[in-house]
Amino acid sequence: MEEQALDPNLAISLNGIYQWSIDFYGLKKGDKFKVIYEENFVFGKSIGIGRIFAAQFTHANEDFYAFRYTQENEESYFNSLGKSLKTAFLKSPIEV
């Protein structure tokens, strides 16, 4: 993310989405991501990222998808099969 001059908060947001699916302590060379998100600007200057709408994270040659869905004013992320990304246990709890 640093090489692409992306906001470091994007990494924190992706961790929040994928913390039940991906062990971020076990990232490997070749892991990659794609993300669709909004970036907030004031007078043409970025003030940070907004909502993440969808993401694809490729980890250990496996694709993990996340799609934002809002129902009754509650937002959550689901995989490509429509299952919630939130499960009972975190893959790698990271304190922020």
pLDDT of residue 78: 96
Give the neighbor-by-neighbor strand order of the sheet with 32-42.
32-42, 45-59, 62-71, 74-78
Tens-digit pLDDT profile for the chain (96 aa)? 777 788 889 989 998 999 888 888 888 888 999 999 999 999 999 899 999 999 999 998 899 999 999 988 989 999 999 999 988 677 766 555
Strands (E), the chain: 32-42, 45-59, 62-71, 74-78
pLDDT of residue 51: 94
Q: Which two tokens stand for residue 8?
A: 């470091």
DSSP string for 3-14:
TTT--THHHHHH
pLDDT of residue 25: 84
Q: Which two tokens stand for residue 5?
A: 């001059």
Model pTM? 0.82
